[in-house]
Amino acid sequence: MLYIVATPIGNLGDMSPRAVETLKGVDLIAAEDTRHTVRLLNHFDIHTPMTSLHEHNEPLKGQALVGRMVTEGIHVALVTDAGTPAVSDPGAVFVHLAAQAGIEVLAVPGPSAAVAALSVSGFDAKSFTFYGFPARKESELLRQLKEMKGRSELAILHESPLRVRKLMSAVLEALGDIPVSLSCDLSKLHELTLRGSASQVLARLMDNEKAEKGEYVLVMDLGGLEPEREEHGEEIAPEARLLHRLLRGEDLRAASAALIAGGERKNAVYAASLRLKRLFSGEETLKL
């Protein structure tokens, strides 16, 4: 059996009795950082042996652990430094390998920084998209943020304290002054959530000398933002763009849908598709 055990993200009081019981009952604990996890185990008087499993050794170590679980019948619990394993943390590869080998995988749910930040954001969380940590390079970060337009009502990002100001500046540039909620030190003594427009939150970060401490979770309200339009060096008629896609092997319906998803007006695409149909039937000469 493989247990995926969520651990506190700051407050040890959030450790569930079931999580403690599970960690005491398994044969081995696979931890992201054994030096970090040993403090948790000592606090709850847990003496189960540990082994390290992190992003750099997960494929090989995971395969070795699965081998032991199959041949020796041992039960293993997976933990990360904080929160739920395999969610923006190591563990997904190990889970996949175990499931492929026919090992039962069970969740021991608990703290999650993304869900905690969403719950205090004040946004209507009927649906959301979790993106984890964003790109570090500025050009890739801006592209990633722009691509979020029209994909989800709410978007959630993790960010380190050293890059949170850079992230908020990029949000302003790529998405405008949208409503956001930025949480830091969730469940800890100095938990803080900043709510407001992106510019207001950035201004408060700039004024805070202690902003470069603690991990951040950003929740962005993207409702009402239009999908990012396809960029072109010059204005190109929708007929030409449809024809280009047809020559690549797409049918007219798929090509039309792609243009609309890229930000082209639906009526303009519909009119262009009718003109192409007339062109193909010989009823019209098309000037592109």
Same domain, yes or no: 159 and 243:
no
Residue 255's domain comprises: 238-280
Looking only at Cα atoms, what is the longest distance across the chain?
83
120 & 215 share domain: yes
Domain edge (last residue) among 64, 95, 111: 111
For the entire predicted model, the pTM comes to 0.76
122, 204: one domain: yes
Q: What radius of gyration do the chain's Cα atoms show?
A: 25
Residues 100 and 10 in one domain: yes
Distance CA 5, CA 18 (A): 9
For 113-138, what is each residue's pLDDT tens digit?
999 999 999 999 888 999 999 999 99
CATH number for the domain harbouring residue 166: 3.30.950.10
Residue 267 domain-assigned (yes or no): yes
Q: Are residues 141 and 183 in the same domain?
A: yes
Domain-embedded: residue 233: no
Shared domain for 62 and 159, answered yes or no, is no
Q: Same domain for 213 and 119?
A: yes
pLDDT band at 229 (very low <50, low <70, confident <90, very high): low
Residue pLDDT, tens place only, 236-288: 788 888 887 788 777 888 788 777 766 778 888 888 888 888 877 765 554 44
- Phi, psi of 161, deg, nearest 5: -65, -25
Query: Are both 118 and 212 inside the same structural domain?
Result: yes
Residue 245 lies in a domain: yes
Q: Specify if 243 maps to a domain.
A: yes
Domain boundary among 96, 111, 126: 111
Asked if residue 260 is part of any domain, the answer here is yes
When divided into structural domains, the chain yields a total of 3
Instruction: Indicate whether 226 belongs to any domain.
Output: no
- Within a domain: 36: yes
